[in-house]
Amino acid sequence: MVNAADASTRSRVDDVLAAGASLGLTVCRTWAFNDGTWQALQVSPGNYDENVFQALDYVIYKAQSNGVRLLLSLVNNWQDFGGRAKYITWAQAAGENVTSEDDFYTNAVCRQFYKDHVKAILTRVNTFTQVEYLNDGTIFGWELINEPECSSDPSGNTLQAWIEEMATYVKSLDNNHLLTVGVEGFYASNSKGTSSSNPNSYSGTLGTDFVLNHQASGIDFATAHAYPDSWLSTQNVEDYQTFFQSWVDAHIEDAETILGMPVLFTEFGLSSTKPNYTTTDRDAFYKIVFDKIYASAQINGAGAGALLWQFLHTAMTSWDDGYGIYPFECSSITELIQEQSSRLQTSFEPSCCWPQDNNTSSPHRHSITKIFKGVFTHIFK
């Protein structure tokens, strides 16, 4: 969206979406927020820059023309592009007694600001297609928040209450699209899931839980991220791979047997800025999740896809945080991505209908990935 807002950089959107599509990629995750910062979408609560909103319109329009669907995130946990911190600043300016970013989840004014933003996004009529976002089949789904955490309440009650409130609100406006939370996938220490797969003890105190968060009414699929080179204290690549193996296995297993819903690995990577980094190790790391997703797809399991972080235009090296992938370059990683896309595309046909049994306690109530892939054919026929 930020690149599309400037005429001199808008072509990057065209190029990256076309390049991704040429590699067989079908879903792109990007931001539907930029709060009170440079090229802000939401300049202040309820006040939007129309030029930037038209830039988001353009992103959706170009995704459609390339056969790509978008997973759109609605706010950031972090201060990049505004995030929870900006909402706190806005609430303070409105006279609210808020001091911590975690007040974002409990303060009534902050919660209303967020709901107002959700409504503005979902009811937006695209200036290129004349289609309201909530009726647009190009949009794969919504993500409530990127990587939510609430360390002030390790019990998880605060964040869970917010998730349940906001998921219900999103679905009250838009029952066409899939919805997820946007969590990194950490388990609470008392989780019903595989808390032993956490990268460290601290991650169990962040107020999130992979299982509980996705059991909120209205949540349709689960997500997890993976950054072992940041999460683990070791710099040993073999340790990264060992961790990632168990991390992916745990989330696929828990999504299938406890949640009964698909899981997407929506961010993962190895950073080129870390010691001992090699492209060979990076490729081996990516192959772990690709192979496990493919194996899950073969048996119609919960593993439904992997969205690497992050695809960049060659003119966007300043955006590269070490995890950048440049799809225009013929490299070992783009070959691996294309191979994964090809074998997933030919592994099975989407389901033609919804399951009859909606009992989420039944671990094998339906062919999870088939329904996940076929859902938009069903809804937006």
Catalytic residue status for 184: no
For 119-167, the pLDDT digits (tens) are 999 999 999 999 999 999 999 999 999 999 999 999 999 999 999 999 9
Tell me the C-alpha distance between 307 and 305, whole Å: 7
Judge contact between 170 and 179, C-beta under 8 A.
Answer: yes
Residue 79 within any structural domain of the chain: yes
Asked whether residue 19 carries a pLDDT value surpassing 80, the answer given is yes
The answer to the question of residue 6 being in a domain is no
191-211, pLDDT tens digit by residue?
Answer: 999 999 999 999 999 999 999
Q: What is the phi/psi pair of residue 69, to 5°?
A: -105, 155
Q: Is residue 3 part of a domain?
A: no
Mean pLDDT, residues 67-87 taken together: 98
What is the average pLDDT value for the chain, to the nearest integer? 92
pLDDT tier at 370, thresholds 50, 70, 90:
low
Does residue 147 carry a catalytic annotation? yes
State the CATH number of the domain containing residue 59: 3.20.20.80
User: How many domains would you assign to the chain?
Assistant: 1
Q: Per the residue annotation, which of 143, 147, 253, 256 is the catalytic one? A: 147
Establish if 345 belongs to a structural domain.
yes
Does residue 4 belong to any structural domain of this protein? Answer: no
Q: In what order do the strands lie in the sheet with 27-31?
A: 27-31, 69-73, 139-143, 178-180
Residue 28 forms part of a structural domain: yes
**Any domain includes 1:** no
pLDDT band (50, 70, 90) for residue 330:
confident
Residue type, 369: T
Boundaries of domain holding 138: 11-379
- 2 within some domain: no
- Looking at 143, 149, 253, 267, which residue is catalytic? 267
pLDDT of 355 over the 70 cut: no
pLDDT at residue 39 tops 90: yes
- CA torsion through residues 43, 49, 52, 54, sign: positive
Cβ neighbour number for residue 196 with a 10 Å cutoff: 9
Lowest mean pLDDT among 39-43, 162-166, 225-229, 354-358: 354-358
